[in-house]
Amino acid sequence: MEAKAADFKYVYDRPKSLVDVPTHYCPGCGHGIVHKILAEVIDELGIRDDTIVVAPVGCSVLLYNYIDVDGCEAAHGRAPAVATGLKRVHKDKVVISYQGDGDLLAIGTGEAIHAANRGENFTTIFMNNAIYGMTGGQMAPTTMENQVTKTTPYGRDTADVGFPIRGCELVNTLEAPVFIERCAVYDVKHVLKTKRAIKKGLQNQIEGKGYSFIEVLSMCPTNWGISPVKSAEWVKEVMEPYYKLGNFRDL
């Protein structure tokens, strides 16, 4: 029997705030998942007309092409400073600083820590995939011990270049932030948890509570040199024991 359109009912659709274009992301990359989550949350909170995203230097620099809201590029590491400037002008808008690990914990550590310390009323989404994606797979501040990258060809030697930095724990030493949570997107359960955390971060901002920091452990199959499925497993088995998932603060 032939099915008719009338026989079907819509149970799922592309979020309205997610622009209907192909992304430039590699198969298995976590950015697409988090972009979609962000678009869904923007729809659910009804803030499409009031949101400004700040895109970092890194793979997600084109974020503003995928989310249907006002967008601003920032120089490498400077997204929290740009977001500060935007938010200080538009106190009633929702400002999101979307940053990678090199951006937030290497070149932009100062900006990230001080925006958090001031308790700027914006939301940071921190994508930690333990590697520099856009430049072709160099060591990130969050690269795991012994992890092989283009610039740690013998594995990350902690005696030489130090240990991976834990973003949530660092931010958790500060007084001002109101919400700090580390999430992952390697399976559906964790994707849903990530969505709840991002939604909470944006709600905090809407309510004027202050700074929220959401770290997402993400996959980079291309630069890790393993398949998307293996990458999801790698987050769970290698990253998660060092970067403990969970909420650090919820005021």
Name which of 57 and 178 has its Cβ closer to another protein.
Answer: 57
| Min separation Cβ 245 and another protein, Å | 29
Stretch of 45-53, 198-206, 210-218, 224-232 contacting another protein, by CB under 8 A? 45-53
Distance separating alpha carbons of residues 127 and 32, to the nearest angstrom: 11
Checking DSSP bridges between strand 246-250 and strand 179-184, what pairing results, if any? antiparallel
Checking DSSP bridges between strand 123-128 and strand 179-184, what pairing results, if any? unpaired
Residues 4-43 that bind another protein (CB under 8 A): none
Stretch of 53-61, 166-174, 183-191, 195-203 contacting another protein, by CB under 8 A? 53-61
* CA quadruple 75, 79, 84, 87: dihedral sign: positive
Stretch of 57-65, 151-159, 164-172, 184-192 contacting another protein, by CB under 8 A? 57-65
Can you list the positions of beta strands (E) in the chain?
51-55, 70-73, 94-100, 123-128, 179-184, 212-217, 246-250
| Min separation Cβ 64 and another protein, Å | 5
Query: Between 69 and 98, how does the x/- string for binding to another protein read (CB under 8 A)?
Result: xxxxxxx-xx-xxxxxxxxxxx--x-----
Report yes or no: 178 and 227 within 8 Å, Cβ to Cβ: no
Q: Is 61 a residue that touches another protein (CB under 8 A)?
A: yes
Residues 178-207 that bind another protein (CB under 8 A): none
Task: Give the residue among 43, 177, 183 at the shortest CA–CA distance from 126.
Answer: 183
Name which of 87 and 166 has its Cβ closer to another protein.
Answer: 87
Residues in contact with another protein by CB under 8 A are: 48-52, 54-55, 61, 64-65, 68-75, 77-78, 80-90, 93, 110-111, 113-114
